Amino acid sequence: MNQFSTATSTSYDINELNRLRAARQAENHELEAEVASLSSLARVDLEARLRLGLVPAERLLYVDVNQPLPAKQTLPTRFLPPEANEVPALQEPLWKRLLHVLPFF
Amino acid sequence: MNLRLFILAGLFALGGIAITARVAYVQIARTEHYRNEASNEHFGQQEIRAPRGAILDRNGYPLATTVDAYDVWINREDWQDDEAARKAADFIGPIIGRDPSALISTVRQEEEGLYLAFGGLDFEKGTGLHDADAPGLRVVLTTKRSYPEGDLASTLLGFVGRDHVGLTGIERDFDRELGGIPGTIYFERDSIGNRLQLGSERVGQKPKPGGDIRLTIDRYIQRLVEGELETQLAQTGALGGTIIVMDPKTGAVLGMASQPGFKMSQLDLNKPVDQALFRNRAVTDMYEPGSVFKTLTASIALDLGLLTPESVYNDEGAEYIGPSTIRNWDFSTNGPVTVTQILQRSLNTGAVWMSRQIGPADFYGYVRKFGIGQATGVGLDGEPDGLVRDENDPNWSEVDLATNAFGQGIAATPLQMTTAIASFANGGKLMRPYIVESMNTPEGPRSFSPVVVRQVVSEQTAASVADMMNQVVEGSPGHLAAIKGYHVAGKTGTTTDATLADGAVKGGNVASFIGFAPADDPKMIVLIKLDFREDRLGGQVSAPVFAHLAPSILAYLGVQPDGPQLVTHP
């Protein structure tokens, strides 16, 4: 009886946790979409015009600045392109590396 | 007696064998079948929709993505009781933004079953409804498409239907990659098929999420060209138009806008008139390119070694082909002119003269090498081949060669023309245009690299034509495509008597310009095509659009201008 009760309770907990996980995943997707919306060009343009009072440039002046570029705007990780060195190269097992020491390998 | 007994025993034995065989067949050979039947009797199954992949711009900014949402359904039968209906409607109505009384009457008008009160309700609001105990309320978890950049690239991206299947644009062309693979969930059900509240359930197959697709489109450039096209339509009264921005060295399409089109925020699938707005006209619609084509004719003559940019033609104001007379667009007579001047002054007679030097076999051979008359293979649906009538066609005549030489009587898509002219900016190599940079397919990630279709003309010819196109812009004082700080190469085109607006306007006019910059090391090529009811010249209306767009695009691409505009920080 006790075991049955524990099993039922655990099953309920698992279902609850699954539901919670799904909710958090959904929230995560919502937040990703919100981050994307907040960094949309239309919003940036609107903020620049209305809040900061900026206007489109009438004359372009190109300035060659000897400084590094500013950091790129952060995107949700899911949308970021993979970094070239993100995935570490698979290391060969020790015995294979030892084989390479031999002159004929 | 013994015989009868023997026969009877035999019959029993046969019967026994038959029954045993049948039992063995049912229990061994058909195990899976009957197990499934029993399982289906006790368990129902429901498809779990796989989350649809995102469509990203080339820097990873999402242009379309998927978020979780809820569909709100109401069971009509549960709302027959006035008190229950009122109680539920008062609770649901404000959350889904509907008047409770109107909601009740709408639900009761339904003939039977469930009524979809709201599709794609925000996850947070939907969760509140999901946990509530309102009569007749069914809240089902689903997903919906979200467009963080709003209406940007609507026609290019396309849209999905209620079943989340791509219907137009990229959404349809790459539906398999974006859509993923749906999963299955099994649940215990009662004798009439309803789900048991406390019954067991198990996931049969997990849904495999759709892959993200990264485009070559740059959201900044896309926004620039869309904004510019809208402005031009409003200011000039153009019926429609197309702007394409491409990297001539790779064929990557950086921006692509066409009008008329649709806006995602104003999409109404119930309006039949909107159907014509869904296609991406930069890829699907053909037009007569007009004088832009003279650059191709000149390049053929140069590549065959028949002419040089300095070769002289004596323009007498008309060229005669049998009974037909071909004159210049401004009815001018120019006397001795070089090939470069033919392009600068856009002389039809000069183009006819060049085509005569070339001959039909070489002319059409090269035209096809430029990709005119065959789809580019950009990967978008609805791309036509174009129309080229060559000397093998029984209806072809010499007049066709003459008019084709200056871009009349021949049809290509804006994308085909951009790709063909881009070869002059790329050492004579024709690139295959592409719009998808990488994607995750069910088979794994896949990326696309630039593809050289063929070497159309020699590197030297391409450089000569690029130089002549540079002379067209910078050798003509006051050319409206010229921009300060950058050397531009380009050519205008104007086509009269065109059929426009999906056949509604006859005798219209197409004014276009194709140019690339910087002329000595091109980083972008831009096509501008505007459709008018009345006569307008490409040099007057389309060339200034280039001059307006190019500095912003070049600055964005990090191309430094020459000359005094650049202030160097010490």
Write the pLDDT tens digit of every residue in B407-431.
999 999 999 999 999 999 999 999 9
Give just the sign of the alpha carbon dihedral B529, B489, B361, B306: positive
The 10s digit of each residue's pLDDT in B348-400 is: 999 999 999 999 999 999 999 999 999 999 989 899 999 999 999 999 999 99
Residues of A within 8 A of B555 (CB-CB) are: 60, 62
Average pLDDT of the residues of chain B: 89
Taking the C-alpha atoms of residue B420 and residue B429, their distance in angstroms, rounded to an integer, is 9
Write out the residues of chain B at the interface with chain A, using a CB-CB cutoff of 8 A: 51, 54, 56, 59-62, 65-68, 122-124, 127, 141, 146, 148-150, 152, 212, 214, 219-220, 223, 485, 551, 555, 560-561, 565-569
At A58, is the pLDDT very low, low, confident or very high (cuts 50, 70, 90)? Answer: confident
Share of chain B above pLDDT 70, in %: 97
Mutation site, A41, A74, A77, interface B, largest B CB count within 10 A:
A41
d(CA B439, CA B448) in angstroms, rounded, equals 9
> What is the number of other CB atoms lying within 10 angstroms of the CB of residue B139?
21
Contact by Cβ (8 Å): A29, B54: no
Question: Which residue has better confidence, B75 or B215?
Answer: B215
Query: What tens digit of pLDDT does each residue of B143-168 get?
Result: 889 899 999 999 999 999 878 889 99
What is the C-alpha separation between B506 and A86, in angstroms, rounded?
Answer: 58
* Rounded Cα–Cα distance for residues B497 and B240 (Å): 16
- Chain B partners within 8 Å of A23 (Cβ): 127
More confident residue, A77 or A12: A12
How does pLDDT run across B195-212, given as a tens digit for each residue? 666 667 777 788 888 899
Picking from A22, A25, A60, the nearest residue to B555 by CB comes out as A60
Name the least confident of B70-79, B170-179, B340-349, B397-406: B70-79
What is the arithmetic mean of pLDDT over B439-464?
91
Q: Which residues contact B46 (CB under 8 A, 6 or more apart)?
A: B184, B185, B187
Residue A74 confidence (pLDDT): 59
Share of chain B above pLDDT 90, in %: 59
Rounded CA gap, B529 and B287, in Å? 10
CB B299 within 8 A of CB B462: yes
Binary contact (A64, B569; C-beta < 8 A):
yes
Chain A residues touching B123 at Cβ < 8 A: 26-27, 30
Return d(Cα A93, Cα A103) in angstroms, integer. 18
> Is the pLDDT higher at A84 or at B276?
B276
User: What pLDDT is recorded for position A92?
Assistant: 63
Least confident of A76-90, B99-113, B514-528: A76-90
Q: Which of B67, B485, B565 sits opposite A33 (nearest CB)?
A: B67
Check pLDDT > 90 for residue B109. Answer: no
Distant-in-sequence, close-in-space partners of A84: CB < 8 Å, separation ≥ 6 = none
| Mean pLDDT of all residues in B44-61 | 86
Average pLDDT score over residue span B535-547? 92
**Interface size between A and B, measured as CB pairs under 8 A:** 85
- Which candidate in B59, B121, B185, B556 is best for mutational testing of the A interface (most A CBs within 10 A)? B59
Do B569 and A63 lie within an 8 Å CB cutoff? yes
User: B322 pLDDT exceeds 60?
Assistant: yes
Q: With a threshold of 0.90, does the pTM exceed it?
A: no
pLDDT at B334 over 70: yes
- Smallest Cβ–Cβ distance between A81 and the set B60, B220, B485 belongs to B60
> Beta strand pairing status for B566-568 and A62-64?
parallel
For residue B559, list chain A residues with Cβ-Cβ distance below 8 A.
none
Phi, psi at B280, each rounded to 5°: -90, 95
Nearest CA in chain A to B131: A19
**What's the pLDDT at A12?**
83
CB atoms within 10 A of CB B276: 13
β-pairing, B452-455 vs B429-431, is antiparallel
The answer to whether residue A33 neighbours chain B at the CB level (below 8 Å) is yes
Q: Mean per-residue pLDDT for B303-327?
A: 94
- Considering just the CA atoms, what is the radius of gyration of chain B in Å? 33
Residue A93 Cα, gap to closest chain B Cα (Å): 26
The closest alpha carbon to A35, from B334, B462, B149, B138, belongs to B149
- pLDDT above 90: residue B519: yes
Beta bridge partners of B519: none
Which pLDDT belongs to residue B565? 61
pLDDT classification of A86: cutoffs 50, 70, 90: very low
CA distance A1 to A14: 20
Identify the residue with better confidence: B17 or A22. Answer: B17
Decide if A30 touches B, using CB distance below 8 A: yes
**pLDDT at residue B151, rounded to an integer:** 92
B189 or B99, which is more confident?
A: B99
Task: List, as one string, the DSSP characters of B150-193.
Answer: TTTTHHHH--B-TTS-B-SHHHHHTHHHHH-B-EEEEEEB-TTS
CB B302 within 8 A of CB B308: yes
Maximum distance among all Cα pairs of chain B, rounded to whole angstroms = 128
Q: What is the pLDDT confidence band of residue A85, given thresholds at 50, 70 and 90? A: very low
The mean pLDDT of B257-275, rounded to a whole number, is: 82
- From the CB of residue B113, how many other CB atoms can be counted at a distance below 10 Å? 9
DSSP state of B217: -
B327 — phi, psi (to 5°)?
Answer: -115, 170
* Residues B200 and B185 sit within 8 Å (Cβ to Cβ): no
Distance between CA atoms of B352 and B215, rounded to whole angstroms?
41
* Residue A16 in contact with partner chain B when CB distance is under 8 A: no
The separation between CA A20 and the C-alpha centre of its own chain, rounded to angstroms, equals: 21
Distance from CA of B547 to the nearest CA of A (A): 13
B-chain residues within 8 Å CB-CB of A26? 67-68, 123
- B465-485 pLDDT, tens digit per residue, is 999 999 999 998 889 999 988
> Residue B141: pLDDT band by 50, 70, 90 thresholds?
confident
**Maximum alpha-carbon separation in chain A:** 83
Does position B300 have pLDDT exceeding 80, yes or no? yes
* pLDDT confidence of residue A82: 45
Which residue among B59, B141, B148 places its CB closest to the CB of A33? B148
Q: Are A42 and B152 an interchain contact pair (Cβ–Cβ within 8 Å)?
A: yes
